[in-house]
């Protein structure tokens, strides 16, 4: 039986890995129609792509890898891979051709970080806009805008949301439910998105002065809520705090 096992071992093709270095220049990746190709990004990313690729290619991201499967041939088209931790963009120029020859996986390598790049405090941005404004915009774009249109915010990272599933003391004057969605932070400044839904049959005007808590800033996606059951009965409020939002909210009432 040993010769059979020996023959089987040598019957499998050995694929090399194409290693490419990210140097802030779009990386070309060729696909063959009907053949899946794996790009090892080494970090969790979200994929943004133009509408022209709709139906032409399957794009999936899992476990730090991107899986690409072309359904038809298409010319070089740029897609975006956004690091979910840092917000950094990695650009790929993908194209698909008709071919039966196998393609090796791609692995992206990165230049080593300099000590200055690993400091705990991150320089935020050269923008003249206040950080709370930038954070609110970033959060709103992540929730409402297509990924390809989300503006990068240097130093931003997802933050844990350590809140109750429903927050009762945020707007006690209004018949709304408040459910935390997500948080992002730059250094110690945090923005938290909370979904508000009208539980009454009346239109509600939202006033930031009615929010209960110690917030650096607050903004509503819409400044009113329609009656319950309508599409307009839900919106999002963005709360900016120094440190975790759990410290800024009033404590939940005891049962």
The per-residue pLDDT for 12 is 35
Please state whether 220 falls in left (phi above 0), alpha (psi between -120 and 50) or beta.
beta
Distance CA 132, CA 71 (A): 43
Q: What is the pLDDT of residues 145-158, one digit of tens each?
A: 777 777 888 889 98
Q: Look up the pTM and report it.
A: 0.54
Domain 14-110, what architecture?
Answer: Sandwich (2.60)
The per-residue pLDDT for 87 is 78
Segments making up each domain of the chain, as ranges: 14-110, 131-247
The secondary structure of 53-69 as a DSSP string is: GTTTEEEEEETTEEEEE
The per-residue pLDDT for 146 is 72
pLDDT-flagged residues of the chain (< 70): 1-16, 112-128, 255
Contact 206, 170 (CB under 8 A): no
């Amino acid at each position: 039986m040993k010769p059979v096992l020996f023959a089987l071992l040598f019957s499998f093709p050995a694929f090399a890995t194409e290693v490419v270095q990210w140097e802030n220049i779009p990386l070309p990746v060729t696909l063959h129609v009907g053949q899946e190709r794996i790009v090892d990004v080494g970090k969790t990313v979200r994929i943004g792509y133009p509408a022209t690729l709709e139906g032409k290619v399957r794009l999936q991201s899992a476990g730090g890898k991107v899986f690409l499967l072309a359904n038809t041939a298409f010319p070089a088209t740029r897609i975006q891979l956004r690091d979910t931790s840092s917000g950094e963009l990695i650009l790929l120029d993908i194209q698909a051709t008709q071919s039966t020859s196998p393609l090796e996986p791609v692995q992206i390598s990165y230049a080593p970080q300099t000590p200055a790049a690993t400091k705990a405090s991150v320089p935020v941005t050269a923008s003249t806009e206040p950080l709370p404004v930038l954070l609110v915009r970033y959060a709103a774009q992540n929730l409402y805008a297509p990924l390809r249109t989300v503006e990068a915010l240097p130093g931003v990272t997802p933050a844990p949301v350590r809140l109750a599933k429903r927050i009762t003391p945020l707007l006690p004057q209004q018949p709304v439910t408040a459910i935390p969605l997500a948080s992002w932070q730059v250094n110690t400044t945090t923005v938290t998105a909370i979904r508000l839904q009208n539980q009454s049959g009346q239109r509600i005007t939202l006033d930031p002065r009615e929010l209960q808590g110690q917030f650096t800033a607050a903004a509503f996606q819409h400044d009113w809520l329609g009656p319950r059951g309508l599409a307009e009965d839900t919106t999002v409020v963005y709360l900016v705090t120094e440190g975790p939002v759990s410290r800024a909210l009033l404590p939940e009432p005891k049962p």
